[in-house]
Amino acid sequence: MRKVKFLPVAMCLPILAACNRHQSTLAPFGEEADKVRSIAIVLVVGSVILAAGLALLMRHAMRAPEGRLTHKGGMKLVLWLGGIGPSILLLGLLLYALPAMRPIPVADTDLRIGVEGEQFWWRVRYAPPGGPLVESANELRLPVGRTVELSLRGTDVIHSFWVPGLAGKMDMIPGRTNRLIVRATKAGTYRGVCAEFCGLGHALMAFDVVAMEPAAFERWLAAQARPATPTASPGARLFASYGCSGCHSVRGIGPVAKIGPDLTHFGSRATLAAGVLPMTHANIAGFVRDPGKTKPGVRMPAFPQMSAAEADQIASYLQGLK
Amino acid sequence: MTTESTPYVAPDQNDPAVRKGQEDRLREVWKPPSGWFFRWTDVNNNRIGVWYTLTAFGFMLFAGVLALIMRTQLAVPNNDLVTANTFNQLFTLHGSMMMFLFAVPMFEAVSIILLPQLLGARDLPFPRLSGFGYWSFLIGGVFVSGSIFFDAAPDGGWFMYPPLTTRTDLSGLGADIWMLGLSFIEVSSVAAAVELIVGVLKCRPPGMRLNLMPLYAWYILVVAVMILFAFPPLIAGDVLFEMERLLNWPFFNAEKGGDPLLWQHLFWIFGHPEVYIVFLPSIALFAMLIPTFAQRHLLGYPWIVLAAVGTAFLSFGLWVHHMFTTGLPKISLAFFAAASEAVAIPTGVQIFVFIATLWAGNVKKSTPLLYASGSLAVFVIGGLTGVMVAVAPFDWQAHDTYFIVAHLHYVLIGGTLLPLFAGLYYYWPLVTGKKLSDRLGRIAFWIMFVGMNLTFFPMHLSGLLGMPRRVFTYPEELGIGGLNLASTAGSYLFALGVLIVCIDLALSPRRPKAPRNPWNAGTLEWLALPDDEDWGIRSVPLIESRYPIWDQKNFVQKVDEGRFFLPDAEEMRRESIITTVLDARPLQVIRLGTPSVKPMMTAVALAGVFILTTYHLYLLSALSGIATLACVLWWLWTGTAEIPEKPTKHIGHGIEVPLYTSGPSAPGWWAMFITMMADATAFSGLVFGYFFFWTIHTNFPPTGAGLDGPGVFWPMVALALTLTGWAATVGAREVHRRGNVAAGRALLVVGIVTTLSSLFAGLAGPWVSGMDPELHVYPAIVWTLAIWTAVHAAIGVIMQTYTLARSLAGKMTPVYDADLRNITVYHHFLALTGIVTFCTIGLFPGVA
Amino acid sequence: MTTSKDNRKHWARDLKVTLWTLILPPTIWAVHFMFCYLWVAVTCAKSPTPGTALNGFPLATLIATIVALLGIVAAGYIARVQSQTPGDPAPHDEGTAIDRLRFLALSTRLLAGLSFVAVIFTALPVIVFGDCR
């Protein structure tokens, strides 16, 4: 047993070295995730010690000659190692772990961000204290060192908001508003995913998380609050004529539409299709014509009648919405 | 109780001719039916148990193949072997089948084989119920698992969270197949649990007091009781779920006042005990085989009882740990985290009991013991990660990731699958008379053990590195391709191990017979001969030890020579002894059900109700329901509460016991009582729903057109009528018992009329106020409670009418009155249901 | 119960340990657990804001916990007295009424121990949390 148990661990070491740093509970960039990692280390070390001790004891028991342990001795073993020992150990574990469940305190002046999970993307609304409401999608930006309260809702089915490096996950349940209070500690680009099975596209429902220095964040938020600059590009016309603006808002250019993601500053995001594809011209053009090919179950219809050239023009227009 | 005319002369067991005559009669009585069709009407536990086991094993292999396809898809990032749609069906069916079609039925199947042997009984108390359970299981299982060949399998995950699964625009037929197909199987699981409980409590051999009961029987008792309380909340959930899908009653629809979380509560109140329901029977197998291979009594018998009962209780206080991330108040989560840690204590106790027994004993190395110790090692790892995820903050990260996939497979493979293989190698000689190959068994074990660890150990890491569960693919940039490839390789290795076991099984018919009791075990089941007779046990022994074969002098010989109880079948009937619960004193000899086509027909008819409803064929479904009712009545009328030809019977050693009892000493009364406990639990799930909605709404009940409650008048009228019906039934039992048959019948008629009136009065409340169940969850839940109670009143009326008919047909007399006593138990519960329902819907709005 | 003139007899020995008394201690745990959980669940579900304080809950938990622990200790004490009914020493594996009684009593005692620990575990969260967040 011992031989085999550690084999996978040994095998994983080289693989671990190559592991990602932006969607991992082992590479935290938030206070909550950091706290959990410390707990995890304690738990893992404790478990390994207990498992090894049990394995040794079992080996000893199997090899001991008959009658080495009397009935009375056996009862003592069960009482102390099976009953009293674990009770004390678990009591200690509870006293250690329960306080870690307390949420970070939050004040009225802290930034609030609403995130809504929909099949299969994320609606994000920033509500800075005293400032205007700013809507975006599939990307979450956070000021480093500031407490942020996330209000999480599911609009159609249950989703779960999970940024492994930031904090534990929290479900987004229709009819309920869940709060998750986080504080980023390290600037950088990270990734979050939907953790509750939500249908066909569940595996492809991710988003980017960018933790920024507070000043940079303020500037970015101000830019996001501004509407897009109207252009007369052919892509903009096609966007309207294919009915895209029936679902997607481009503030300042088209009508207000609430069905699909807000695209006002689409070009400024790093990925498209909810964290699935890098934001390249070709990817946009391909996705616009046949989104279902990349993302099964997507609500956006395919446009088989759209020519490649038209898709190109729409892609150029969208990529220009910085 | 002595017959005065001819003094009874006990048979001379020393005379071989007498013994030969007894054996011939027993053989004739227990002869299995023959013929290409009628052989399947057998109800003997030997055969039903084997069919049941093989079927569950087959479903396990099928679900395993589904897992292999999934692992192949996940071998490399961005793979496109199967579509997202197929993948979702694969993991939903894999989980659902392993839980509902393998783990739970397998435990029941093994128990159907083993329990009568362990208890020295000729069969379980209700053999036909076993048959009914098997056929229900087979039909339901094939229906659910076969759906994948039509691309119609359920695809919402084995937990089926609404609203994804209740919205008919987001989920298709698969959700109905899951809900109705598995409800059908849940019903048969509860039926089997009733039988096992009665079996353990009432069918023990004389002298087998509670402190001498084989530990397997203790575990079966505990697990069956857990099934009784765990499955009904899910059945209640299923009812609400299908009402939403088929009738648009918005229980889980937040826009109309419903709440998806209600389903999660009901599901996990079932789902967490379920884990222990499939784990404890495996520990029970250990508790049988470890003493055998340590060649000594198990050390710490009361500790095992403590562990089993303690686990059973604590496991009902854990359900919210599956809901740690649903945003409930942290303090609520903390209660469940605390209980989740506490449940580790009894589990640890069991492990140390086994270690202590092996330590004190003289360990004989063997293949079953290898499997047992290997599975303990695997289980310990799963248990330790279980303690980890019970720590809520850690679970917030680990929940719904591959870490949990790893944890649950360590628990279930270490706690269910490998122990079952241990049991397979241990008990194969008991069932077939032949041993399996020790060499192939060891090879298969090591391959499975390595494969299992290679598959699931890396998953701990892939989970912590950000891989969520139930994803059909994952991006390369996550850097978990290597870990996943290792898991896939491991899964094929594991499958190879299972294949070797299957080959070993296939080679078994060519192997020679093993000696009797090949492991030199001490417990009763090993009395079985390699060429087993269908009568189960030659004579029912008097038990004076936990390990009678080891400890009681000339025990095997005395059993074989018919020197104990009931060595004969003078009246050519299948018989078994009923004893008292605590001290196993003989109470009665019961006549057991013989092979019959009725259980199978009932199962087919009931299957029709569930399957036809799936396809919205309501008329045919209703006809099927009527056919089911007819089958059940026919079955009961012809096969139960039969008035015996003589009041008592000698079972040997000067003991004479009645052939008919009624009331609390009869197994039928217990079966009714236990069934109604399950029924009351399901009902409490619905009542929980009502009060759950009250807590989440600030104004509940709401007001408005179609929303106004049922008022006070009609519910109170219904309550009064229900209680009158109850009083009439109880009164009928009392006057009838005292010999006044006419008054008893008259009171039954009063009972029928009032109970029937209560049915209509109960529905009149919501009907008269025009409550529209599609509008809001409040009218929906009120209607549900009212309909539940009305359906139960209808069943009560059928029972009263049936009993009246029995009396008129001369099948029930003041002495032989089991029917009347049993339906009185039902009416106690009906009165309780009426009180709760009508007070809730009628009076609670006044105080809310 | 305590008026027995016979000093060798103990009042607790007259009570019958059965399968029902066996499950008494864990049942007390279950009632205590449901009391704590339902109080919190109903208060918090009914409260308009997550920060609502659980007034009175710590005191209620304290009282409930003391009552539950007393009940479990009482059950354990009775079981202890019964498990010391004269007879042969452990293991209680003889087919006699005394051994059956002593086995049930010992199991009840062990369950009382487990339930005692579990009740304390259940009461712990109230030290850490005071509101519905």
The CA-atom distances, in angstroms, between B729 and each of B515, B636, B722, B742 are: 57, 20, 11, 14
- Segment C31-40 mean pLDDT: 95
CB contact under 8 A, C124 and A87: no
CB contact under 8 A, A94 and C50: no
Q: Residue C63's domain spans which residues?
A: 23-128
Using a CB-CB cut-off of 8 Å, the residues of chain B touching C115 are: 310, 313
The class of domain A234-319 in CATH terms is mainly beta
Cβ proximity of A117 and A155 under 8 Å: yes
Comparing alpha-carbon positions, the chain B residue that sits nearest to C131 is: B331
Per-residue confidence (pLDDT) for residue B7, from 0 to 100: 75
Cβ proximity of A304 and A311 under 8 Å: no
Contacts of C117 (CB under 8 A, 6+ apart): A87, A91, B342, B345
Domains of chain B plus CATH, in order, are: 529-658 (no CATH), 674-847 (1.20.120.80)
Choose, out of B164, B370, B487, the residue to mutate when testing the contact with A (most A CBs < 10 Å).
B164
> In Å, how far is B524's CA from the nearest CA of chain A?
24
CB contact under 8 A, C91 and B297: yes
Choose, out of A80, A88, A90, A94, the residue to mutate when testing the contact with C (most C CBs < 10 Å).
A94
CB contact under 8 A, A98 and C125: yes
Phi (first) and psi of residue B232, to 5 degrees: -60, -40
CB contact under 8 A, C103 and B317: no
Asked if residue C9 has pLDDT above 70, the reply is no
CB contact under 8 A, A87 and C91: no
DSSP designation for B41? G
- Segment C27-48 mean pLDDT: 93
Neighbors of chain C with 3 or more C-beta pairs under 8 Å: A, B
pLDDT beneath 70, residues of chain A = 1-19
Using a CB-CB cut-off of 8 Å, the residues of chain B touching C94 are: 544-545
Phi (first) and psi of residue B469, to 5 degrees: -75, 165
Using a CB-CB cut-off of 8 Å, the residues of chain A touching C129 are: 98, 101-102
Using a CB-CB cut-off of 8 Å, the residues of chain B touching A61 are: 355-356, 358-359
> In Å, how far is A144's CA from the nearest CA of chain C?
24
CB contact under 8 A, B338 and C125: yes
Interface membership of B333 toward A (CB under 8 Å): yes
Asked if residue C1 has pLDDT above 50, the reply is no
Per-residue confidence (pLDDT) for residue C6, from 0 to 100: 41
Comparing alpha-carbon positions, the chain A residue that sits nearest to B356 is: A74
A118 Cα distance to chain centroid = 14
Per-residue confidence (pLDDT) for residue C88, from 0 to 100: 64
Residues 486-505 of B with CB under 8 A from A: 486
CB contact under 8 A, A197 and B300: no
Asked if residue C8 has pLDDT above 90, the reply is no
CB contact under 8 A, C99 and B209: yes
CB contact under 8 A, C103 and B309: no
CB contact under 8 A, C118 and B342: yes
Q: In total, how many domains does chain C have?
A: 1
User: Among A284, A283, A277, which Cα is nearest to A314's?
Assistant: A284
Q: Please indicate, yes or no, if residue C7 is contained in any of the structural domains.
A: no
CB contact under 8 A, C103 and B297: no
Interface membership of B461 toward A (CB under 8 Å): yes
- Segment C66-92 mean pLDDT: 85
Per-residue confidence (pLDDT) for residue A19, from 0 to 100: 63
CB contact under 8 A, B301 and C29: no
Start-to-end Cα distance in chain C: 49
Tell me which residue in A87, A90, A98 faces C128 most closely, judged by beta carbons: A98
Neighbors of chain B with 3 or more C-beta pairs under 8 Å: A, C
Hey, is A160 helix, strand or coil?
A: strand
Cβ proximity of B607 and B187 under 8 Å: no
- Is A234-319 in the same CATH topology as A1-63+103-224? yes
Tokens representing residue B785 in the block: 């409670």
Using a CB-CB cut-off of 8 Å, the residues of chain A touching B475 are: 276
Q: Where do the H-state alpha helices sit in B361-401?
A: 367-390, 392-398
Per-residue confidence (pLDDT) for residue B1, from 0 to 100: 43
Comparing alpha-carbon positions, the chain C residue that sits nearest to A87 is: C117
Contacts of A53 (CB under 8 A, 6+ apart): none
CB contact under 8 A, B393 and A168: yes
> In Å, how far is B337's CA from the nearest CA of chain C?
9
State the Cα–Cα distance between residues B237 and B690, nearest whole angstrom. 12
Per-residue confidence (pLDDT) for residue C89, from 0 to 100: 67
Confidence of residue C7 (pLDDT cuts 50, 70, 90): very low
DSSP designation for B546? S
Comparing alpha-carbon positions, the chain B residue that sits nearest to A166 is: B397
* Prior bond of B701 cis (ω within 30°): yes
Choose, out of B82, B359, B470, the residue to mutate when testing the contact with A (most A CBs < 10 Å).
B359
Counting beta carbons within 10 angstroms of the beta carbon of residue B12, is it exposed (0 to 12), middle (13 to 18) or buried (19 or more)?
A: exposed
Per-residue confidence (pLDDT) for residue A16, from 0 to 100: 53
CB contact under 8 A, B255 and A201: no
Considering the domain delimited by A1-63+103-224, tell me its CATH architecture: Sandwich (2.60)
Domain ranges of chain A: 1-63+103-224, 234-319
Interface membership of C97 toward B (CB under 8 Å): yes
Per-residue confidence (pLDDT) for residue A17, from 0 to 100: 46
Using a CB-CB cut-off of 8 Å, the residues of chain B touching C121 are: 338-339, 341-342
Using a CB-CB cut-off of 8 Å, the residues of chain C touching B546 are: 93
Q: Give this prediction's pTM.
A: 0.95
* Per-residue b or e along B191-229, where b marks 16 or more CB atoms closer than 10 Å to that residue's CB: bbbbbbbbbbbbbbbbbbbbbbbbbbbbbbbbbbbbbbb
Q: Please indicate, yes or no, if residue C8 is contained in any of the structural domains.
A: no
Across the A:B interface, residue pairs with CB atoms under 8 Å apart total: 282
C110: left (phi over 0), alpha (psi -120 to 50) or beta: alpha
Per-residue confidence (pLDDT) for residue B801, from 0 to 100: 97
CB contact under 8 A, B342 and C117: yes
A281 Cα distance to chain centroid = 26
Per-residue confidence (pLDDT) for residue C19, from 0 to 100: 79
The more confident residue out of B845 and C85 is: B845
pLDDT beneath 50, residues of chain B = 1-3
DSSP designation for A244? G
Q: Please indicate, yes or no, if residue C62 is contained in any of the structural domains.
A: yes
Handedness of CA A307, A310, A311, A312 (dihedral sign): positive
Comparing alpha-carbon positions, the chain B residue that sits nearest to A295 is: B84
Using a CB-CB cut-off of 8 Å, the residues of chain B touching C95 are: 207-209, 212, 543-545
Q: Please indicate, yes or no, if residue C79 is contained in any of the structural domains.
A: yes
Tell me which residue in B327, B373, B397 faces A36 most closely, judged by beta carbons: B397
> In Å, how far is B15's CA from the nearest CA of chain A?
43
